[in-house]
Structures are given as C-alpha cells and as structure tokens.
Amino acid sequence: MPRTHTSDRLDPHVRPPALQRWGRVTAARSRLVVWAGVALAVLGLVLAAGTMNRLVLSRFETPGSESVTTRAFLEKEFDAGTPSVLLMVTAKQGTVDGEAVASEGRALERELAGQDGVAEVFSYWSRGNSPAMRGNDGRQALIIARMAGTVTEARTRLADISPAFTRDGAQVTVQVGGGDEIFRQAAEQSRKDFLRAEMIVFPLVLLLLFAIYRRFSAAFLTLGMGLFSVITTLALMRGVTYLTDVSTFAANLALVMGIGLGVDYSLFVINRFREELRAGRSVPDAVEQSVAHAGRTVAFSGLTVVLSLAALLLFPFPFLRSFAYAGVATVLTSVFAALVILPAALARLGRKVLRKNEDGHTRPAQGWWHHTALRMMRRPLLYGIPALVVLLGLASPALGLTFGVPGAQVLPRDVSSRVVQQQILDNFAAEEMSAIKVLRTGQAGTDANRASIDATAAELSRIAGIHQVDALTGSYAKGRKIAEPGESARRFASERDTWYSVVATHRTVAQDIDRAHAEIRTVAGRGAEGGAVKIGGYPAELSEFRAELVDRLPLVFGLILVTTFLVLFLMTGSVLLPAKAMLLNTLSMGVMFGVLVWIFQEGNLADLFGFTPSGSIEPSIPILMFCVAFGLSMDYEVFMLSRIKEEYDLTGDNAGAVAAGLERSGPLITSAAVILAASFATYASSEIVFLKMLGIGMVVVILVDATLIRAVLVPVSMRLAGQANWWAPAPLRAFHDRFGISESSPAARPAAATSDTAGAGVRAGRS
C-alpha cells in the first residue's frame, strides 16, 4: 500500500503550500529549468575564472583601533611605520662587524631601498650597530624594511623581491623573513592546497555517492549540484570583491562547503524522490512531494547555516567577514541548486535514479536505526549517561584553551620564512620587527625636552621584559644609556611630538604583552599634561585584534543561539526541542574545541599530523570553525527534526515518531556526514596549520554529531522529555499557529497524544 502523506489528506480546495506548487512547476517545465541551470553554470564558470585574482590578503589588525591609527600617524609625521619584511644576513667568516661583511650589508640595504614598493629600510649597520639587530653569536644581523601600499600589493611585490634577495655569496648568505613573507608563503601554500583538494575531493565524493546510490546517474547528478554551488559561489564572491575586500582563504571554505552542502541537500531531495517513487507515485507527483517535504527541510536548514555564518559579519575584521561572504553565498547557491535545478533534473531522469531491480514497494519501516532508537529509549539512562561522559571527556581539554598570536608555526618547518624566524628566536635576544612604538603627543622632539625624553626612555628600559629602548636621546637597557644618539635618532623627533621604540624580549611578546603594554603606558604617561600616550607596533596590533575578537564573542554566540532557536521554533512549534538542540550542539562544539586544544595547543599527535605546537591557539580560526560547525550541526538537526515532526503530525506518538523519524533520516544523515567529513578531511593534510585545524576539527565535530549525538543522545533526550517535547506556552503556541511554517494546516494534524500513546513505541519495542 502506498504510504499516506499528510498533504494527501488536505482539503482539495485548500491552496497547497508554496514549495509544493513550485515542485509542480519544475516538474512541468523541467526541460526549460535544466537548460537555465546549465546557462547559469556556464556564466558562473566564466565569472569564477577571475575570482582568485581579485581576492586579497589581510593582516591581523582591527580597523580604527589605537594601534592602527598610531601606525598611520607615525607614517605621516615621522615616516616610521610598522616594518613587515627582513633580510637575515649571515657572515660566512668572522662576525657582522667585520669590514667586508659590513660593506656587503650596507650594499644590500641600499639595493633593497631601491626596489619598487619598499617605503623604508634600516639595518644593524645604519642604526649604529644596535644590539637588538645583532645575533648573540655575532654572525647574524638584520636588514628590516617596510613595504608601501596595501597588504596585497606588498605581498605581491614580495613575490619578486624574496627570490631575488635569497642569496649565497662569497661573504654572506641572505634569507628573507618577516610577517608579510610568512603569510605570503602561507597564502601561496593555501592556493596549492586548494588545487590539491579539488583533485582529491571530486573523485572521492563521486565514489562515496555511488556507494550510497548504486547508480552513477544519481551520483553524477548530486556531485553536479555541489559543483554548481562551488562555481556560482566563486562567481558571487567576485561580485563582492568590487564592494569590499575578500580574503584569499575564503576560497578554501567555498570549495569544501560548496561540495558538502550541495551534496547534503541533494542527498535529502533525491532520497525523498526515490522514497515517493517506491511508494507508487508518478514521476511528476514524486517531484512535487519531494520539493514540498524535503525542500522545506532544505530551506530551514539553509536558513540556520546562513544565520550562523552571517554572525561573522559582526566582527570588524575583513579576514573573518570574508568567510561570511563565502559561507552565505555557498548556502544560497546550494539551496538554489537543490530546490530549482535538481527537481527539474529528477523529472527528466525519472526512475533512472532508482537502484537496478528495485521494486515499487516501500522499504520496511523498522530497520537498524528504528531498533536502535527504541533500544536507547527503553533504557535512556543506561545509554545516555555513558555517551554524555564520553563527550564531556572529549570536551574537557577545552577548559585549558589559551588564545595566542599567529606566528611562523603556521608553516612547515622547512619553509624559508619559518627557518628565518626560528633563527631569530634561537640567536637574537629580542626581535626588532616586533618593537612597541610609543607615541608621546605634545612632547616635542627638541633640545628643550631632551632631559625628560632621556628620563622617560631610561624608565621604560627598566620595565620587566624590555630588552632595549631607542629614543631621540640614544639607546637604553636596564635603566642606563648604552649608546649615544646617531644620525638615525632624528627619526624620533618632530616639532610637536616624539616617539620611543621599545623592543621586548621574545617571551614578553609571546606570553606577557598585555602587561608590558599597561606598564609602558603608565611610565610614558607620567608628566604628559596636555598630551597623550598612544601605543602601536605589531604586538599592539595583535593584542587589540585578539581583545576585540574575545570581546565580541558573547554577542556573536548569543545572536547565533537566539536566531537558531527562533528558526527551530517556527519549524516545530516547540520550546523544548530548540532548547535541547542548542544544548546538544553546544556539547558537540565543546568536543571540537577539546580536540583542538589537545592536538594543536598541547601538541598531542603533532608528529603524526606534521606541525609544531605553539602552546596557544590563534583565536580567529576556532571562531570561524564554531560558526561553520554550529550551522552544519543544526543542518543535521533540522533534517532529523523535520522527519520526526512529520511522523508525529501523522500519529501523535512521541516515541514512535522518534524511532520512525530516525529510521528515515539516520542513514541519510550518516551518509551526508561521511561525505562532508571527507570533504573537510582533504585539508587535514594541508601544509598550513590553519587549514589543518579546520580539516581535523570539522571532521571530528561532524562525525561526533552524526553518531553519539544523533544516535544516542537525541532519542534518549526525546524519551525523557516525552510529550513535553511538543509543548509551548499558550501565547507562543498561538504565535506559531499564525506565523509558524509547516507542511500542513492545523486541521490536518492529530490531537496531542496522551502519555499512554507516547509510550506505545517503547512498549512495542519490548514486545
């Protein structure tokens, strides 16, 4: 007997839901819709071809912050901005103070200063043999440069400068390093990883889809929807680049999410289509019902993922906002493909998507997932408590999460800029490029103020963790002057203001920079009547970036929770189900953060995955992962709740609805999770730690969510709550009846089941 659908029992005079009407249109105009989809794909391919060249790079900085405005002020008034490139000069014989090596160093400095795009250059030799720029063994010294233009222009120019200045001469060897070189090489590697991932993910997903469908026609069609999403997302991103900056790394997210979501949504629509065909429907009716039921679920799912990713727009950082643009575009194109192009294609293929020799009868309703759900609900505490203990154990390392700053550890050990950075850490007492720039407005750099400048500089050099202070009046260390001012000291003077270069030790920059900034501000502010103290430099930019991220976390996380709760309430009409979904998703997020801390912060399995732990985690990537993972977890929640609610609307039996809903959604959720995890797993082998974290973290959360959460804790919690699952206060119930989105009219739904009915499924499982 064909299975009765809720929509079948509606009054024929009642206007069908919009998605059902759309399904009817696509089935009737399938040829036109398919060719329109092909035309869109071709146009998208043309536009997407130029996207990568328009994506830009960005630094870890907060627009409008004190450090950024101070940098701009110093560049304008003193021509002294924040440097980002260095040449490591190593003497082959003797020390860097030898005449031949010094002559070679000065020649390199002049040559670098003559390069296009280089705004400022200084070296150990031109800065009066500054101790901060000389290695402890005397064999290494630094030439430091500041690039002009935007970060993208600077790093593009570096692509030519870096190989030109990587040398092995008779007197010295020269290596290129610095922040811009590190992240230029990281971006270059991410592009390679993007291309490698493309070559792996498409055939891998195709094989997995064939294993699920056992028909290449369905597998190619599903993969085609994912490919359509990737192409059109990149095309849309190109349009966004004309309005704002979009990071190069956003393309990596567009690839894995485009394939993942495009395939996920197509899986659910095709599965429903096959289900309707097996129930005895004609092809046009099967298309109509697939769009009406699975299409509604896809639309809700897309909305939850969009809300999670759109929250990244609340951060004032182009880097994170780029992922919001890419993520939202990916969801929209995936939903479009699943609800517009795919139904029309299914109408053309018809029964060719069914497995060979598959009959027209509905499969048994009581399979492995059905029996597993009943087993969990018969003894909810017996199964639920151990599962909860395991998940809490996996999440426990997250309690030790420490946010830090990004460094050369994002690159493999043998990449040139990381090699240079390691030499600085090993052979230099401090890092001149990370000098803290202290601007003292209202303190003119004139002879009249030399005494106060001298006193301030000496006092700054006494602060714990400060290696050296350079000022108009000379260089200082541990409270005393170690060098008289030379020609380079004039850079600190103007008719209105002055500034100090405060070079901190490596440990202070990495672990104690906020304390150092606070003490520097206090010391430099003494006697600053009529003026002000402003702090800039790379450490200040990173510190403010991290602080702004952390400050906005409650707002972002709170908004995600509230908006997702509202979407689930509009879908279910329940207060408890959305709250439970929030709790379980938060638990899976805890597992993800626990794994990130255990692996990437504490260094467990570092040799296996090929990276160097830094003892902390750069905050922007975990925040990105939270938004992506939370949205994808809600993706599965929506798929599952949609089927459970559909069964509950038919029967009013809570436990039976859970078992039947999991039977119909569980295998599909597992298949979708495996494909999405496989897509993200391609980045687990990336050479960039950021992408490696994204790959491993997302694989863990997807698999945990699709197994322990969905297979154990969902049926357990649904059983323990019973009929309360479907409860809402009278005012909210009235609100849902008026504004909620459902597949059927209230009149078509059964009255709420009694508690005896709610337990019928569990009792049936006992018999």
- Cα 214 from Cα 208, distance rounded (Å): 10
Residue 179 token pair = 């922040």
Contact residues for 461 (Cβ-Cβ < 8 A; gap 6+): 468, 469, 476, 477, 478, 479, 480
Asked if 61 contacts 539 with a C-beta cutoff of 8 angstroms, the reply is: no
- Cα 490 from Cα 470, distance rounded (Å): 11
Residue 60 token pair = 């870890």
Model confidence band, residue 359 (pLDDT cutoffs 50, 70, 90): low
What pLDDT sits at residue 487?
Answer: 87
What pLDDT sits at residue 590?
Answer: 94
Q: Is the pLDDT of residue 145 over 50?
A: yes
Residue that the structure tokens 């004309």 belong to:
242
Q: List the one residue out of 619, 602, 621, 753 whose CA is nearest residue 698.
A: 621
Q: Is the pLDDT of residue 743 over 70?
A: no
What pLDDT sits at residue 741?
Answer: 65
- Cα 110 from Cα 126, distance rounded (Å): 10
Secondary structure of residue 471 in the 3-state scheme = strand
For the segment 245-263, the average pLDDT, to the nearest whole number, is: 86
- Specify the range with the lowest mean pLDDT, choosing from 111-125, 181-195, 273-287, 335-349: 181-195
What pLDDT sits at residue 750?
Answer: 42
Q: Is the pLDDT of residue 8 over 70?
A: no
pLDDT in tens, 445-462: 888 899 999 999 999 999
Residue 597 token pair = 């801390």
Amino acid at 165: F
Asked if 291 contacts 22 with a C-beta cutoff of 8 angstroms, the reply is: yes
pLDDT in tens, 562-595: 988 988 898 888 999 999 999 999 999 999 999 9
Q: Which H or E run contains 466?
A: strand 466-471
Model confidence band, residue 665 (pLDDT cutoffs 50, 70, 90): confident
- Cα 662 from Cα 238, distance rounded (Å): 40
- Cα 357 from Cα 50, distance rounded (Å): 46
Model confidence band, residue 310 (pLDDT cutoffs 50, 70, 90): very high
What pLDDT sits at residue 28?
Answer: 93
Q: Is the pLDDT of residue 744 over 60?
A: no
Model confidence band, residue 358 (pLDDT cutoffs 50, 70, 90): low
Residue that the structure tokens 């709610």 belong to:
758
Q: Is the pLDDT of residue 736 over 90?
A: no
Model confidence band, residue 363 (pLDDT cutoffs 50, 70, 90): low
CA atoms within 13 A on the CB side of 275: 21
% helix / strand / coil in the chain, to the nearest 5? 65, 10, 25
Q: Is the pLDDT of residue 510 over 90?
A: no
Residue 750 token pair = 């059964």
Radius of gyration of the chain (CA): 31
Q: Is the pLDDT of residue 234 over 50?
A: yes
Q: List the one residue out of 171, 164, 166, 168 whose CA is nearest residue 104.
A: 171
Secondary structure string (H, E, C) spanning 79-137: CCCCCCEEEEEEECCCCCCCHHHHHHHHHHHHHHHCCCCEEEEEECCCCCCCHHHECCC
Q: Is the pLDDT of residue 115 over 60?
A: yes
pLDDT in tens, 397-435: 999 988 877 777 788 888 899 999 999 999 999 989 889
Q: Is the pLDDT of residue 57 over 80?
A: no
Cβ count near 187 (within 10 Å): 19
Q: Is the pLDDT of residue 764 over 50?
A: no
Question: What are the beta bridge partners of residue 493?
Answer: 498
Residue that the structure tokens 């990737």 belong to:
230
Asked if 690 contacts 410 with a C-beta cutoff of 8 angstroms, the reply is: yes
- Specify the range with the lowest mean pLDDT, choosing from 47-51, 517-521, 751-755: 751-755
- Cα 280 from Cα 302, distance rounded (Å): 30
- Cα 249 from Cα 260, distance rounded (Å): 17
Altogether, the residues listed in the chain come to a count of: 767
Model confidence band, residue 193 (pLDDT cutoffs 50, 70, 90): confident
Amino acid at 462: R
Measured over the CA atoms of residue 298, residue 300, residue 305 and residue 307, the dihedral's sign is positive
For the segment 500-529, the average pLDDT, to the nearest whole number, is: 89
For the segment 685-708, the average pLDDT, to the nearest whole number, is: 87
What pLDDT sits at residue 30?
Answer: 93
Q: Is the pLDDT of residue 705 over 90?
A: no
Dihedral of CA atoms 655, 659, 661, 662 in degrees, nearest 10, equals 130
- Cα 645 from Cα 660, distance rounded (Å): 10
Model confidence band, residue 2 (pLDDT cutoffs 50, 70, 90): very low
Rounded to whole angstroms, the maximal C-alpha distance in the chain is: 100
Residue that the structure tokens 């993208």 belong to:
152
- Cα 322 from Cα 542, distance rounded (Å): 19
Tell me the CA distances in angstroms from 383 to 92, 291, 377, 390, 579, one per residue in order: 68, 36, 9, 11, 21
What pLDDT sits at residue 6?
Answer: 42
What pLDDT sits at residue 291?
Answer: 93
Q: List the one residue out of 501, 420, 473, 454 whose CA is nearest residue 122.
A: 501
Q: Is the pLDDT of residue 114 over 90?
A: yes
What pLDDT sits at residue 365?
Answer: 53
Secondary structure of residue 439 in the 3-state scheme = strand
Asked if 139 contacts 95 with a C-beta cutoff of 8 angstroms, the reply is: yes
**Average pLDDT in the chain:** 87
- Which carries the bigger pLDDT value, residue 618 or residue 289? 289
